[in-house]
Amino acid sequence: MDDHRDRIAAFHQLHTAGCFVMPNPWDVGTARALERLGFPALATTSAGAAWTLGRTDNELTLEQALEHLRAIAGAVTVPVNADFQGGFAVEPDQVAENVKLAAATGVAGLSIEDSSGDEADPLYDFDLAVERVRAARQAVDETGTDVLLTGRSEGFVCGRPDIDETIRRLQAYAEAGADCLYAPRIESAEHVTAIIGAVAPKPVNLLINAPFISVAEAARLGVRRISVGGTLARVAWGGVLEAAKELVEAGTVSRFVDLPNVDALFEADDA
């Protein structure tokens, strides 16, 4: 499955029935390792990508983000969904132009979120947010790629945890052309069920970044797609920082045991 269109078609097919897990690598190595573990699709993480450059989430430039997408999509054969944040623009016409650039990187899907970055007013005005998704839909259509578009509402991330407003926005994004809907940080079965019912028959992505639900339980609720955001990256950073802290403070290396044979993951690439 090396062709871009084949991967896009496969990604759409994954959204038609059942539930699949789409973990989030943060570099080429983790992307290849996760593919080898058998996941049918992958998704980038803006936070994980930023941390590899010593930056905080939302600090990547458009060019850095596009370079990252090209690297991840080019490293694997499974579909890759792009965490494209807010489209690296405010106005819908510029969002559209940037979406076209992202669609050309080889990704099979991308998401557009409605967080503004303004602490006083963290979500874009409703009408503007909807127009941004509509512009992204038109941009995808104009590319002719059929890249799968996900509309994200960030209220539960940025301090506006209003389930009614979240549902109102997700329904509007669905009507504006989003293929999949996503509200990160939803952590109640009741909220998950409400969102799925509100946007049906369109599929819903669930972020699992804490042990509040299992994949099997999410599937029973009707979740179509599961991602983990930057959590795998944080797990890795946690291991590195704890081992390094012990080394610098105590001079001991108790965590240097039972470590994976990372070379073995990539031996076929060297053959």
Q: Indicate the length of the chain as a whole number.
A: 271
Supply angle C-alpha 163, 110, 187, rounded to 5: 30
Q: Give the pLDDT of residue 1.
A: 45
What would the pLDDT profile of 30-62 be if each residue is shown by its tens digit? 999 999 999 999 999 999 999 999 999 999 999
CA distance 23 to 17: 18
| φ/ψ of residue 126, rounded to 5 | -50, -50
CA distance 46 to 62: 11
SS3 assignment, position 109: strand
Q: Which residues of the chain have pLDDT under 70?
A: 1-2, 269-271
Q: Give the pLDDT of residue 109.
A: 98
| Residue closest to 233 by CA, chosen among 38, 36, 41, 55 | 55
* Helix (H) or strand (E) run with residue 205 in it: strand 204-207
Query: Quick one: what percent of the chain has pLDDT higher than 70?
Result: 98
User: For the whole model, what pTM was predicted?
Assistant: 0.96
CA distance 269 to 271: 6
Q: Give the pLDDT of residue 270.
A: 58
